[in-house]
Chain A
């Protein structure tokens, strides 16, 4: 009986230490992968840190590349993302791909979110042409349509169509790390049959850049807030 128990203990130890190797990375075990991944998830959770310090004005001024502050409300996370790619395509607007150090990406077209990657339940792509044009011309009371193509859990994507209205929320002076900007605050209220989402944009009066925004991504991810610390 003692022997049995000792062996059972040994077995348990082995479960926690499944091991593989070889000249290439192929292996023969599903269990090992499961155990290792679960262990990885727990490690990753522990690694979550509290809000990182916001860079100072001096740090920002000396920095050559852009910097985007992203607040992920639902998960209580804040990160600073660097530009990975800037480009244009046949559609209007400048596309910027921002990335975090751990595989997350935010893609914006003229500051409007068009894709997320690496967050889970990502926004695959988005049709934001109506909002883009309305914000550019600062048209208020404008009714626009937008479509979010969202990643679903079963490896499909589905289009979520929203009807939105853009309204002014006044002119505001915005402070971003000790620097003040005069902005126009526009609010986009979007609905579909199931509910309502509100996007807020603070647009720089001098050049039309979206300096700060809070944008709704999808049902699972909720809202992301952005502050453009450095263009």
Chain B
């Protein structure tokens, strides 16, 4: 279910006038008005200095100082670091994502790989084998998961050693295990470039040709199996065989590969998919740019093959984030030089907060920051703000602090900035004005300021504060396109519906929201998919029926309220048509102290299944579903989540999620759910599992944004372990504004 990371953003406009252009004009305007420092730039008013850096412009110039660059290995036909069809031992750079698309002999493999940590990588693969003509399939399609673990890194003397499990939880067509060593040699034998020599031992599929021994027995591949279960009883069992090869990277662009394969391709050759006449594979590869490498090969003495390797790292955006520079801090005059500026008499004035808000709001609004409440005294000021523009709240905090330093009377020394997200006050950052003034241009200014900054829980309300009376009601609407894909249908790998959607959001009081979305499908083929064969209540597998009957649909329509019962506790109640398949009531309570890595949540829902036409009616099936959740943030951006409870089909169990989150908002994770539904009842795949991807919009555009796109990829969607999709779950909203997340991004506070 795609869901936005944050609900509040600055709206795009319908006009041709882009935001970028608007910003330019605003800044020109301000240059004139400030007057105090700047003078109008008559000479160069139309010159664009910043421009927008293009995709290639953030590539480092060779030969200039740089940070260490990690080696990027080439990929094999399985989309893993390797030779042609065989693996090698090199890991990808930490955090790397790779997509490999390869094809030979009527077999196409598409693999998504992620270097989860410096040593661990995981892959998800979707394959199609033409001319299978067996087991009821013309073209055999399957999904598989791999993991690889780097046992030892390459040193000057020793090779890198990696152990890998291939197709370790699927139906097992590619099931195989290996241990492989690889060593790099620069300028080998006086030749130019670099040579990588790899040698390993394979089991399963990788031990099926030229085996040199055997470790007990191994059951053979069964295409009719539901799959999905860990085949621990098979790993490193049966015949094992050596494999190996050489990769010669002749220069920066051009590479050659030669390998000896230990894969007999027994399931394929026995079904006549292709003929295997040789164990030798070879080919040539060309690196088009940092991200893309193409290769052409001759495999198994009979087939030509091609391989497209796409690698990128979420850490490196195609377009670097570009944010217009901030206004400088105004340094107060010294108390000796201007005692009058330091008087505190202003604080007695009833109108002081309104005046201060009036002076500060226009500056903050230009940065997409809204003031929700303001409290001032002679020496302290607290501002409650909503950040609608920046992906990092630290930028909003920094800009708010600067605005405070520009506007507040000199006697105010302590700035308290409270982040308000989805109408919840989530944390308070305390900055001393003196630190802003002295540190702004010092080396490592962000690190120095962080050491002097406090993070505290925010009280639910700010007693006695000035609250602008124009905050509510707020209304926004949107009309635009939607695209709703559906993956891995046995007949059609990707199906999709597309059309127009119209949505609105109405906030009529603090914490209250009414929201809804209607859709009109224009094109699509999801309704041509296969009908459900599920023996469980069909809580998710009726997607085809929903698509058949729903052309004009009400995607959701609900009212929700969020509030803070206590400093560290957050609550939500949502009622209405929550998602396309269920409506009802959802309640949630979350405990998350501001500096805690642990959060505990409880969610209880009572929902009824919606009619297939997705209008106002309901079907007979209803269920009480809910979970107790524990969330934990580890070091290095790793997060874990365990949800224990009752799922939509009434099954009871737990979901385990492990994710890696990058500071820029990218998130890659995997999950699996085990419930009291047996693998037979569950059907294909045996249990629910999948991959979550979240990509911040600003990663593509280089423009600041709080938005991101999320998607969940499941090898197969069944009815067991299915969770309700509730809009506005609390954890992400709250956590984003808490100490760990804000301080991780703190380097941007001066941006």
Contacts and interface: CB of A to CB of B under 8 A. Distances in A.
Contacts of A58: none
A26 B474 contact: yes
Contact of B48 (A47, A74, A147, A190): A47
Q: Which of A29, A36, A45, A67 has the most CB of B within 10 A?
A: A29
Interface stretch (B102-110, B254-262, B439-447): B439-447
Nearest to B698: A37
Nearest to A17: B14
A176 interface: no
Range, interface on chain A? 35 or more
Interface in B285-336: 314-317, 319-326, 328, 331
A57 to B, nearest CB: 13
B1 interface: no
B61 A219 contact: yes
A155 B321 contact: yes
Contacts of B368: 25
B28 A41 contact: no
Interface string B12-23: 111010111101
Nearest to A55: B43
Given A40-B18, A101-B45, A120 B319 contact: yes
A192 B66 CA distance: 7
Given A18-B479, A22-B476, A49-B47, A28 B38 contact: no
B66 to A, nearest CB: 4
A11 B524 CA distance: 12
B57 interface: yes
Contacts of A11: 481, 498-500, 522-523
Nearest to B395: A155
Contacts of B350: none
A171 interface: no
Contact of B443 (A35, A52, A90, A149): A149
B57 A24 contact: no
A133 interface: no
Contact of B27 (A27, A48, A102): A102
B18 A43 contact: yes
Contacts of A65: 38-39
Interface in B131-152: none
Nearest to B481: A15
B18 A21 contact: no
Interface stretch (A109-117, A180-188, A200-208): A109-117
Interface string A101-127: 111110101000011011111101111
Interface in A173-227: 190-197, 216, 219-220, 222
Given A103-B325, A196-B65, A155 B392 contact: yes
7 contacts: A11-B500, A11-B523, A47-B48, A49-B47, A89-B442, A97-B328, A101-B31
Interface in B464-494: 473-482
B325 A105 contact: yes
Given A23-B474, A40-B19, A47-B48, 12 more contacts: A18-B12, A22-B474, A37-B701, A37-B705, A41-B18, A77-B51, A82-B41, A118-B324, A155-B321, A160-B66, A219-B60, A220-B57
Contacts of B322: 118-120
A104 B477 contact: no
A160 to B, nearest CB: 6
Q: Which of B27, B481, B750 has the most CB of A within 10 A?
A: B481
A33 interface: yes
Contacts of A80: 41, 43-44, 47
Interface stretch (B3-11, B76-84, B118-126, B165-173): B3-11
Contact of B697 (A37, A120, A192, A220): A37
Interface of B: 4, 7-14, 16, 18-21, 23-24, 27-28, 31, 37-39, 41, 43-54, 57-69, 314-317, 319-326, 328, 331, 368, 388, 391-392, 437-438, 440-446, 473-482, 498-500, 503-505, 515, 517, 522-523, 662-666, 697, 700-703, 705, 707-709, 744-745, 747-748, 750-751
Contact of B66 (A4, A30, A85, A194): A194
A20 B64 CA distance: 46
B39 A64 contact: yes
Given A33-B705, A100-B47, A153 B700 contact: no
Contact of B18 (A44, A83, A91, A194): A44
A79 B47 contact: yes
B663 A155 contact: yes
Contacts of A194: 64-69
A63 B42 CA distance: 10
**Interface of chain B: mostly helix, strand, loop or mixed:** loop
Contact of B504 (A28, A84, A152): A28
Contacts of B65: 160, 162, 190-192, 194-197, 216, 219
Interface in A65-105: 65, 67, 70, 72, 74-75, 77-87, 89-91, 95, 97, 99-105
Nearest to A115: B441
A2 B680 CA distance: 46
A134 interface: no
A52 B320 CA distance: 25
Contacts of B482: 31
A102 B64 contact: no
Nearest to B19: A40
B19 A151 contact: no
B441 A23 contact: no
B60 A127 contact: no
B326 A117 contact: yes
Given A48-B48, A65-B39, A195-B66, A154 B21 contact: no
A103 B443 contact: no
A169 interface: no
A140 interface: no
Contact of B12 (A27, A99, A125, A129): A27
Contacts of A128: 443
A70 B11 CA distance: 34
Given A83-B38, A154-B314, A157-B446, A45 B51 contact: yes
Given A24-B476, A49-B46, A102-B23, A40 B703 contact: yes
A94 B326 CA distance: 19
A10 B522 CA distance: 9
B341 to A, nearest CB: 17
Contacts of A192: 65-66
Contacts of B709: 30
A63 B49 CA distance: 21
A40 B364 CA distance: 22
A48 B47 CA distance: 7
A228 interface: no
Contacts of B391: 155
Contacts of A127: 443-444
Closest 7 pairs (CB-CB, A-B): A103-B324, A40-B18, A18-B480, A22-B476, A120-B320, A117-B325, A105-B325
Given A21-B14, A118-B322, A156 B747 contact: yes
Nearest to A87: B331
Contacts of A19: 14, 478-480
A81 B19 CA distance: 22
Q: Which of B444, B473, B478, B700 has the most CB of A within 10 A?
A: B478
B37 A86 contact: yes
Contacts of A193: 68
Given A11-B498, A64-B39, A82-B31, A103 B24 contact: yes
Contacts of A149: 443-444, 446, 747
Contact of B39 (A18, A48, A82): A82
A137 interface: no
Contact of A109 (B325, B441, B445): B441
Nearest to A12: B481
Contacts of B54: 45
Contacts of A114: 441, 443
A37 B20 CA distance: 8
B664 A155 contact: yes
A129 B334 CA distance: 26
